[in-house]
């Protein structure tokens, strides 16, 4: 397909080309007929080389990021943006003012979720089960140890640790990079863990809820299996009713000793386990793209239980001309590159 023909297809900008699930999402969107532009801060991000065009950009938590991503979207006549990393989420919502569909929940929901302490308080006010939670600055012997300690804002497992005693917590506060008011101390719920895709758009109606039981987690979920649980699904529907995400989100929860779900985190974006949601029968990214850009049909809550995801490395092969067509020389990729605009057409 020529560059001219590619421009006849809707252009979607997908960020975070180096994350675990993004390469698969890029390839899937291209198979669905979209022209995909990928961005990342690092020239070694694999998804950059699988898209139709790629750019290196500043980090999402810098002042330079928004003008850069806006310029890319306008230059590429993007119909929509799919952001996949927390640091970008609040900023990119402003692209809606340029007529670009941004596949995210509403800004107030995003802001609440990105402040983990504020989220726990809001969920508790709504009557939803959560682990016992305190700021480290408020800690006074509760919750019981071991306890999970994590940054009040952050993503994945960055900065997360399990403290087995008050002494460990005090050492972490004394020696760690975070102030006590920036750390959340949380009861450690050790029952079955679920990561749950909740598919919803601007009308607020929940279209699908796909619970996935976590089998192995190493920062991101490595192995998981789709598992029907009406109890888990109803908790996630309640999140939407009470907090009104009105956009895609992912709930992380674990069952306590009584089998009751306790929510410990919500990601206000598509999850890294979206490929498993797709494999089970719910194409949440493409489905919401079609709804956001072309008044597409609602998705059905019809999916297969017992589908297992085994996350692995996958090799892709290009000739060197295709590789360097992305404007990133092999030497730059080895060094990780520097944040700057890079364009190329495949």
Question: pLDDT for 128-150, tens place per residue?
Answer: 999 999 998 887 665 688 899 99
Place of tokens 């279209």: 207
pLDDT band at 171 (very low <50, low <70, confident <90, very high): confident
Same fold for the domain at 3-102+315-335 and the one at 132-187?
no
Q: What is the mean pLDDT of the chain?
A: 90
The token pair at 144 is 């019981």
The token pair at 333 is 């990729």
Q: Give Cβ neighbours of residue 278 (< 8 Å, ≥ 6 apart).
A: 28, 284, 285
pLDDT band at 8 (very low <50, low <70, confident <90, very high): low
Pick the more confident residue, 30 or 328: 30
Place of tokens 């529907």: 237
Tell me the C-alpha to C-alpha distance, in Å, between residue 71 and each of 9, 121, 282: 20, 37, 32
Between CA 129 and CA 193 the distance in angstroms is 14
Paired with 310 in beta bridges are: 223
Domains of the chain, by residue range, sit at 3-102+315-335, 109-113+190-310, 132-187
Percentage of the chain beyond pLDDT 90 is 74
- Assess whether pLDDT exceeds 90 at residue 215: yes
- Give exposure, 225-260, as e/b (b: 16+ Cβ within 10 Å): bbbebeebbebbeebbeebebbbbbbbbbbbeeeee
- Assess whether pLDDT exceeds 50 at residue 108: yes
pLDDT of residue 309: 97
pLDDT of residue 344: 44
Check residue 245 and give left, alpha or beta (phi > 0: left; psi -120 to 50: alpha).
alpha
Question: pLDDT for 282-293, tens place per residue?
Answer: 999 999 999 999
pLDDT of residue 276: 97
CATH number of 109-113+190-310: 3.30.470.20
Report DSSP state, residue 345.
-
CATH of 132-187, one of 3.30.519, 1.10.8, 2.60.120, 3.30.1490: 3.30.1490
pLDDT band at 1 (very low <50, low <70, confident <90, very high): very low
pLDDT of residue 346: 43
CATH number of 3-102+315-335: 3.40.50.20
pLDDT of residue 174: 84
Between CA 247 and CA 105 the distance in angstroms is 4
pLDDT band at 205 (very low <50, low <70, confident <90, very high): very high
The token pair at 198 is 């909740």
Question: pLDDT for 188-200, tens place per residue?
Answer: 999 999 999 999 9
């Amino acid at each position: 397909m020529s560059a001219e023909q590619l421009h006849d297809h809707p252009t979607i900008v997908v960020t975070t080309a180096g994350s675990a699930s993004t390469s698969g999402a890029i390839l899937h969107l291209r198979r669905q007929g979209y022209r995909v532009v990928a961005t990342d801060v690092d020239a070694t991000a694999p998804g950059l080389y699988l898209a139709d065009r790629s750019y290196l950009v500043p980090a999402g938590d810098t002042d330079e990021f928004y003008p850069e991503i806006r310029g890319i979207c306008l230059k590429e006549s993007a119909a929509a943006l799919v952001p996949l990393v927390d640091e970008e989420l609040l900023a990119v919502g402003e692209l809606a003012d340029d007529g670009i569909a941004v596949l995210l929940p509403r800004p107030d929901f995003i802001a609440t979720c990105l402040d983990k302490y504020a989220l726990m308080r809001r969920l508790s006010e709504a009557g939803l089960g959560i682990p016992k939670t305190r700021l480290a600055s408020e800690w006074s012997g509760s919750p019981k140890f071991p306890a999970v300690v994590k940054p009040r804002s952050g993503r994945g497992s960055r900065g997360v640790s399990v403290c087995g005693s008050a002494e460990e917590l005090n050492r972490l506060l004394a020696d760690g990079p975070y102030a006590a008011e920036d750390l959340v101390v949380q009861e450690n719920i050790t029952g079955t863990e679920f990561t749950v895709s909740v598919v919803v758009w601007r009308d607020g109606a929940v279209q699908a809820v796909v619970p996935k039981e976590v089998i192995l987690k190493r920062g991101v979920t490595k192995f998981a299996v789709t598992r029907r649980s009406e109890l888990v699904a109803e908790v996630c529907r309640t999140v939407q009713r009470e907090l009104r995400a009105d956009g895609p989100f992912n709930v992380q929860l674990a069952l306590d000793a009584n089998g009751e779900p306790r929510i410990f985190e919500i990601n206000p974006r598509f999850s890294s386990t979206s490929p498993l949601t797709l494999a089970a029968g719910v194409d949440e990214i493409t489905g919401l793209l079609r709804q956001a850009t072309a008044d597409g049909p609602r998705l059905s809550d019809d999916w297969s239980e017992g589908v297992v995801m085994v996350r692995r490395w996958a090799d892709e092969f290009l000739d060197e001309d295709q590789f360097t067509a992305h404007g990133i020389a092999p030497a730059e990729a080895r060094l990780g590159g520097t944040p700057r605009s890079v364009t190329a057409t495949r």
